[in-house]
Structure 1
């Protein structure tokens, strides 16, 4: 049974995003979903002195526009984000091992919209972690609809008789009967990462996947997202 996961293309997302990506057979990016401010579409938490801080890609946002219609607000966003990451993680155990790859991902990031930029980083990091699940842009499918009705139609179109792999939050608004009526299975996935050494007392959870990459390295990050 083919498992399809569907998610907005978040900015340098947390390890759970890639854990879910690894569990799916096909991952659909909702690049045509509406952009919302103060969300994790253009920002992600990274390590702070005593609590997490935000790493933000500034964008020019207007009411009602999609993620794919949202553009960076500053031409030097690569330089400023890399400077903050270097300042934050320069002393991390695997900084020197990870940094060249990170610089190459930023150098290759498209001069385009937020959806394209985020998709680029998701694909680059997934490839670095040997997660080979194919990515599909929702905008290329031509399937309209609201909420779980659209999710049902997307999965039915891509994997008839397959399974929708939902995050646990979906249980609050999804109607399992709709999936069943369409001949689809519905499975909920939850990711709870273990604590790891961040080079300081305590543990700050829910950070970008870059945090475990810098502190655990590629292999350690792989163990984290696969629950090993």
Structure 2
């Protein structure tokens, strides 16, 4: 389940490229995210099969010997978001995701992202980098190659990449960089009451609490690029 920062970035973009050709990051965020939980947050993790240390995302397989789908669905529908104003609006779509068997982590990630984009009313096209070609470069060179394959002249990047993204190299390839500068919207969270706001949860937290107002709240919080 994608977080709001990614949904904001996709909404600002003409095309979203899923970088599935890079190494899977253990204990990272490629197979897990936080939702609301009792007294704070709950981490939902999709278990994966560890076949090697250098597996790329597109080859990552899900460990379906574990009953993660039913566990996640109960956590979302019966515990964390029970009673939220707009849960029933999205219940069927969320349930369909978890009722289907998934073997490929990238396919599951794209499916949950598409579901979230549709619910927000965002129609930015989504494409996998592995479908655009082969990219032998590393780090900023890799990003430049992907941009070239996608026909992009601008990359929207999260501010956290300022320390390592080589903007000069990208410019040499005809690609300008715009920094996202994501600002997290603050909204009423049904599960929190007067206990204070929790940010950086999966984007479904906003959907279940704000429904049709979600996209307006997301856009209203952002700073201009």
Q: TM-score, normalised by structure 1?
A: 0.87
Instruction: Tell me how many residue pairs correspond in the alignment.
Output: 214
Give the RMSD, CA atoms, in angstroms.
1.6
Number of the residue aligned with 1:60:
49
Q: Report the more deviating stretch, 191-200 or 13-22.
A: 191-200
CA distance in 1, matches of 2:182, 2:101: 30
Residue 110 of structure 1 deviates from its aligned partner by: 5.6
**Deviations 1:170-196 (Å, cap 9, x if unpaired)?**
111011211221122111112111221
Contact 1:193 1:227 in 2 (8 A): no
CA distance in 2, matches of 1:129, 1:208: 13
Stretches of structure 2 that go unaligned for 5 or more consecutive residues are none
**1:167 equivalenced with 2:158 (yes/no):** yes
Contact 1:47 1:53 in 2 (8 A): yes
- Which SS does the other structure have where 2:40 is aligned? coil
**1:120 equivalenced with 2:135 (yes/no):** no
- Which SS does the other structure have where 2:189 is aligned? coil
Residue 156 of structure 1 deviates from its aligned partner by: 2.0
Residue 132 of structure 1 deviates from its aligned partner by: 1.2
CA distance in 2, matches of 1:90, 1:54: 17
Contact 1:33 1:67 in 2 (8 A): yes
Number of the residue aligned with 1:212:
206
Number of the residue aligned with 2:89:
97
CA distance in 2, matches of 1:203, 1:111: 33
Contact 1:35 1:67 in 2 (8 A): yes
- Which SS does the other structure have where 1:123 is aligned? helix
Contact 2:120 2:207 in 1 (8 A): no
CA distance in 1, matches of 2:117, 2:54: 30
Contact 1:110 1:120 in 2 (8 A): no
CA distance in 2, matches of 1:205, 1:89: 15
Residue 55 of structure 1 deviates from its aligned partner by: 1.1
CA distance in 2, matches of 1:166, 1:110: 33
Q: TM-score, normalised by structure 2?
A: 0.88
